[in-house]
């Protein structure tokens, strides 16, 4: 299928259109009729080829002049042959991204790999912040060749396969695909005499010590990035980063949710009935006096403002929440039992309204069933 349409009409531009207008029109239409956007449509495919042919002619001043004078009957050598691979690459890249076009890829060896280090810290360390010394095994820059990979006293040479570009191109249908050069692995240079220490890699395995500063307020899963402390890139390429992932050790007293600290405080039934005071230690070493109101029930939560975890990279602290658990005594002396019996004899039911209400509902249910 062919399209015998005027080139200017194909590109939807005036005959006075300049190069900028021509290119913008071509890019728009090429994206619209690209075969990958219209799979199986012969009309779109024919339109796409015709658009390429029109742009190939009109973007060239000599071909355009010949076309304006003779139309499609212009002399041999001036005919259209489809847009060049640079323009097609631009269109393909704008549709599918630079991963296919390869135009934005950086020349040279790949950046070094990022590394992960898992560190467990105490809740107290997360509260105050701290510094830790760690040791990591990494592929570090070779000191003998200063990371070049070449034997000291020798130099590298430009790669003959890619001409020093680090990339090679191959035609695939309408498109020019760019890949990393297999001869130099993207470096653009080859090593004739490799460094004996690193065997031409430019890096060697090494254990190094690092200081990690942990700010107050970090939490489970907090990530700390140490820029440039990952693996060195091959042949002098930029190093990767080291990421420290923090994990909280289980605390014997507190649990944490964000900046809020939680703890459970079992108290005697006499304190629950009469009221009193308990002391809870803070992670900062301070003592927090917690007042227990008379008649408190199990499950009741008391809140101490500002006694929780600090806000990471911010100001202030969260709260400390104490959940009260009223403990029933299991070991009583004879005298204590005697006193409790005396207390029971004086009960009217008003002392425990929830209990009285529950058993009252049970009585009502039995009454309903026996009627």
Q: How far apart are CA 339 and CA 128, in angstroms?
A: 49
Q: Which of 62, 75, 56, 67 is nearest to 15 (CA)?
A: 67
Give the DSSP per-residue string, 247-258.
EEPPPSS-EEET
Strand partners, 180: 167
Q: Are 125 and 251 in contact (CB under 8 A)?
A: no
Q: How far apart are CA 58 and CA 94, in angstroms?
A: 22
Q: Are 6 and 57 in contact (CB under 8 A)?
A: no
Write phi, then psi, for 265 (nearest 5 degrees): -120, 105
Q: How many residues does the chain have?
A: 371
Q: Are 120 and 245 in contact (CB under 8 A)?
A: no
- 352 labelled binding-site residue: no
Helices (H), the chain: 7-11, 19-33, 42-58, 61-70, 85-96, 98-101, 123-128, 269-274, 334-346, 353-370
Write phi, then psi, for 49 (nearest 5 degrees): -65, -40
Report the SS3 class of residue 304. strand
Strand partners, 141: 203
- 130 labelled binding-site residue: no
CB atoms within 10 A of CB 231: 23
- 198 labelled binding-site residue: yes
- 341 labelled binding-site residue: no
Binding positions are 142, 145, 159, 162, 181, 184, 195, 198
Binding positions for Zn(2+) are 142, 145, 159, 162, 181, 184, 195, 198
């Amino acid at each position: 299928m062919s399209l015998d349409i005027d080139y200017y009409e194909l590109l939807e531009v005036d005959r006075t259109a300049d190069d900028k207008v021509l290119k913008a029109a071509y890019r728009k239409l090429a994206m619209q009729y690209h075969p990958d956007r219209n799979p199986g449509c012969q009309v779109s495919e024919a339109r796409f080829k015709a658009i390429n042919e029109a742009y190939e002619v009109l973007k060239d001043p000599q071909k355009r002049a010949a076309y304006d004078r003779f139309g499609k009957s212009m002399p041999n050598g001036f005919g259209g042959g489809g847009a060049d691979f640079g323009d097609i690459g631009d269109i393909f890249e704008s549709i599918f991204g630079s991963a296919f076009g390869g135009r934005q890829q950086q020349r040279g060896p790949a950046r070094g790999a990022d590394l992960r280090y898992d560190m467990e810290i105490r809740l107290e360390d997360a509260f105050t912040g701290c510094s830790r010394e760690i040791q990591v095994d990494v592929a570090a820059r070779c000191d003998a060749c200063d990371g070049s990979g070449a034997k000291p006293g020798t130099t590298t040479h430009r790669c003959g396969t890619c001409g020093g570009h680090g990339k090679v191109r191959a035609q695939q249908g309408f498109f020019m695909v760019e890949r990393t050069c297999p001869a130099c692995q993207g470096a653009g240079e080859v090593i004739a005499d490799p460094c004996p220490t690193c065997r031409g890699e430019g890096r060697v395995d090494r254990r190094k010590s690092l200081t990690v500063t942990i700010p107050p307020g970090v939490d489970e899963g907090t990530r700390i990035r140490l820029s440039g402390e990952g693996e060195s890139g091959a042949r002098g390429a930029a190093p990767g980063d080291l990421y420290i992932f923090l994990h909280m050790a289980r605390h014997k007293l507190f649990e944490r949710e964000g900046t809020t600290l939680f703890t459970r405080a079992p108290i005697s039934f006499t304190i629950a009935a009469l009221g009193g005071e308990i002391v809870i230690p803070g992670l900062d070493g301070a003592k927090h006096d917690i007042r227990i109101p008379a008649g408190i029930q199990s499950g009741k939560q008391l809140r101490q403002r500002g006694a929780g975890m600090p806000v990471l990279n911010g100001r202030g602290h969260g709260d400390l929440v104490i959940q009260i658990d009223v403990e029933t005594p299991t070991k009583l002396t004879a005298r204590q039992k005697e006193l409790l019996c005396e207390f029971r004899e004086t009960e009217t039911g008003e002392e425990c309204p929830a209990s009285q209400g529950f058993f009252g509902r049970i009585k009502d249910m039995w009454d309903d069933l026996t009627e």
